[in-house]
Amino acid sequence: MAVGVAAADEGRASAWWERLQGERLQIHGFASLTAVKTSANRFFGDSPDLSWNFIEVALNASYQLNARVLFAGQVLARRAGDMYDGTPALDYGLADVTLDETPTRRLGVRLGRLKNPLGLYNETRDVPFTRPSIFLPQVIYFDKVRNMVLSTDGVMVYGETSTGYGDLSFTLGGGQPVVDENLEWAFLGDDLPGKFIPRGVAWAGSLWYSAFQERLRLGLSGFTSVLGYRPGVGLDLGAGETAINYLILSAQYNTEHWTLTSEYSRLPLEWQDYGVDFPYRKTSGEGYYLQGAYRVRPGLELMLRYEEGFTDRKDRDGTRSSALLGGAVPPGDYFSKIWSLGVRWDLNPHVMLRAQYERHQGTYTIAARENDPATLVEDWDLFALQLAVRF
């Protein structure tokens, strides 16, 4: 009798769990493994000898508490050469509350660790299936400072409305950026005995227009933050600060077989109070790309992209920036010009294979944490293969 009652209870619990997961709770995950080979320079590991050090494993979940409140989060373990060691971390974790909703508009607020609404791909850059290629255009979506631009701990207001001329949406949020050692390598050139700490509120926002059932999308997005540096003992460097202002203009056009995409970014940086021996004071970085994707048939897609990026838009060949360090860093480290060709093959809805070839001139997109800038080769090639699965 007790066994029968227990079995009945177990059956009811199982049915309840299945019903709960189908109606309110969604659990998904993905994993990817990528092999990277370069003709020179390290990219996500020891790529001149073939690197297998680009691995992503994630589990995400969402729970719809009621019609107005949604909880969502994702834990990601990411191994990317010397920049990320695979330690599981919270990618995002938030509560989404709808404040007002009608058939033509919606207004809400999100709290927690939030994805920054930057460009077309930042909010979905974690998932291999939602990227347009194995590697995003690095002149805009920098992997070497990924955590800072990916998410912010804070609050964000969002809204959207439908009109007879298309759909408009906006986001505006503030909080604290996610800071790690990669920022020291990117903004100070080394892992120095000290650390960056956020100063004040970092702001992120976006404005989007879409028309013709999202066939056309136009967007403006941005991020601004100030990072204070707390130097370690014995370091001949002042307690300075680095101001970051990041702006992206985005455009995308979709047809049944084609997707044409272009984005342009400006990245003004300003260094203050690091001392007279620190070489940099102010730069205005720039990047853009043109990208076309062609769907040959369902499950098979080709991609072609050209991108350019510059540490300083007024020093496009890098000679002036190189001279600040007495030529210790070659001019090619301050710009990148990249051609990319890729193919995507979806074996089924859960398994994807990708291949990508890139021809590089310059090393602006390469992480100093993985390379000695003085030994970088200006002209180099990259080839990558990726296997990704999801559930």
pLDDT value, residue 327: 85
Residue 24 lies in a domain: no
pLDDT value, residue 233: 72
Residue 59 lies in a domain: no
- The segments of the chain whose pLDDT lies below 70 read 1-22, 234
Query: What is the torsional sign of CA 123, 126, 128, 132?
Result: positive
- The two structure tokens encoding residue 355: 């291949």
Residue 17 lies in a domain: no
pLDDT value, residue 6: 41
Residue 21 lies in a domain: no
Residue 30 lies in a domain: no
pLDDT value, residue 19: 54
Residue-wise burial string across 352-390, b where 16 or more C-beta atoms lie within 10 A, e elsewhere = bebbbebebebbbbbbbbbbebeebebebebebebebbb
Nearest-angstrom CA–CA distance, 221 and 233: 39
Domain harbouring 242, CATH code: 2.40.160
Residue 221 lies in a domain: yes
| Domain of 233, in residue numbers | 96-389
Residue 48 lies in a domain: no
pTM metric for this prediction: 0.90
Residue 65 lies in a domain: no
Per-residue pLDDT of 350-380, as tens digits, reads 999 999 999 999 999 999 999 998 899 999 9
Q: Check: CB of residue 326 under 8 Å from CB of residue 279.
A: no
Structurally, the chain folds into a number of domains equal to 1
Strand ranges in 178-257 using DSSP code E only, listed in sequence order: 194-211, 216-231, 241-254
pLDDT value, residue 21: 55
- Helix, strand, or coil here: 311? coil
Per-residue pLDDT of 204-237, as tens digits, reads 999 999 998 889 999 999 999 999 988 877 677 8
